[in-house]
Amino acid sequence: MLSFIFRRILAMIPTLFLASIVAFVIIQLPPGDFATSYMANLAAMGDTVSQDTLENLREAYGLDQPVMIQYYKWITGIIFRGDYGLSFEHREPVSSLIWDRIWLTMWLSLVSVLLTWIIAFPIGIYSAVKQYSAGDYIFTLIGFIGVSVPAFLVALVLMYLQFKYLGQTTSGLFSDEYISAAWSWARVKDLLAHLWLPALILGLSGTAELIRILRANLLDELRRPYVITARAKGLPEWKAILKYPVRLALNPFVSTLGWILPGLISGSIILSQVMNLPTTGPLLLRSLQSQDMYLAGSMILVLSVATVLGTFVSDILLALLDPRIRYQ
């Protein structure tokens, strides 16, 4: 197992390197160097910067030097000093802009994955074990709706219902008094109270997808001879099913960890706009529109790293779950 983890970590390095190259290329995409764009941007807003500041910037990011050195300065700045560069739209270091949003996005993803699991697990098992029962048909129908109706539409409907019947609005992830408060237990509770609805909506299509996969996998596994062995040794039916075929059909659950994050980043942009969620989606969209490249590149970098790590964790869990992967 240790050597498996070690090999996985080694395999991660080139992927991470590639992700950093992509992010760096994105930063370099707009014409002219960053200092020039920065100046132009400020000038457009009727502001000026001193020549000194510009020179300092050029110096700090190695803008006069070859691309290789620029990349080196950029990446070591990130790794050793947590310096992601400057956002010229917000005129702040990128690092002070993104972390809150990234954490919130991760939380949202995590809660969303958990909800997805909690809902999909029993329904998927039920649908497979009771194939073609009325319940199976109903869940399949709901599943189709879950996959085909866009999340933002569901969000609008639910927000409307909530407003109409409960008189509250779920907009944003915090109540007004907590928006810019420091982190505290009360703020966490407030966050969780706001988080579950968007998490549920976000997880909707994923849940439907997961139920479908679990049902199909389990139907396959239920036909395997080892299930008969389990029954033939005298296990009660529920135990025979939960311990053996369900265990083997579980792989897609773990794999969700890997793919849910990238899905959320792209899929949640519209939803985040609709529900006014302070996640990375809207900020990323905005930064791309305004060519705020350090901001955009940094977010893409952090989110790719998170995705790679998510895949890593899900690979490890898969290996724990399935010895055939571990010993290959």
Partner 1 sequence: MENQTPLLEIKGLKTYFFLDEGIVKAVEGADITVPRKSTVGIVGESGCGKTVTAYSILQLIERPGRIESGQILWRRAPENGPEEVIDLATLKPNSRAMRQIRGGEIAMIFQEPLTSLSPVHTVGDQITEAIRLHRPVSAAEAREQAIQMLHRVGIPKPEQRIDTYPFQLSGGMRQRAMIALSLSCHPKLLIADEPTTALDVTTQAQILELMLELQNDFDMSILLITHNLGVVAETCDRVAVMYLGEVVEQADTASLFNEPKHPYTQALMRSIPILGQRNRGRLDPIKGMVPDPYNRPKGCAFHPRCTQRIAGLCDQKSPLLQTLPGSDRAVRCWLYGE
Residues at the site binding partner 1, with contacts judged by CB under 8 A: 224-226, 228-237, 243-244, 247-248, 321-324, 327
Nearest approach, Cβ of 328 to partner 1 (angstroms)? 10
What count of other Cβ atoms lies within 10 Å of the Cβ of residue 40?
11
The CA distance from 39 to 22, in Å, is 25
Q: Is the Cβ of residue 133 or residue 289 nearer to partner 1 in the bound state?
A: 133
Structure tokens at 106: 């991760």
N- to C-terminal Cα separation, the chain? 11
Structure tokens at 134: 């009325």
The DSSP H or E segment spanning 92 is strand 92-93
Tell the burial category of 160 from Cβ atoms under 10 Å away from its Cβ (0-12, 13-18, 19+).
exposed
Nearest approach, Cβ of 235 to partner 1 (angstroms)? 7
Q: Is the Cβ of residue 179 or residue 228 nearer to partner 1 in the bound state?
A: 228
Structure tokens at 112: 């969303």
Place of tokens 């579950």: 196
Q: Is the Cβ of residue 159 or residue 214 nearer to partner 1 in the bound state?
A: 214
Nearest approach, Cβ of 74 to partner 1 (angstroms)? 45
Nearest approach, Cβ of 232 to partner 1 (angstroms)? 5
Q: Is the Cβ of residue 261 or residue 316 nearer to partner 1 in the bound state?
A: 316
Cα of 12 vs its chain's centroid, Å = 18
The residues that bridge with 87 in the sheet, in sequence order, are: 92
Q: Is the Cβ of residue 57 or residue 230 nearer to partner 1 in the bound state?
A: 230
Q: Is the Cβ of residue 125 or residue 274 nearer to partner 1 in the bound state?
A: 125
SS3 87: strand
Q: Is the Cβ of residue 173 or residue 249 nearer to partner 1 in the bound state?
A: 249
Structure tokens at 123: 């329904």
Nearest alpha-carbon partner for 86 in 294, 303, 308:
294
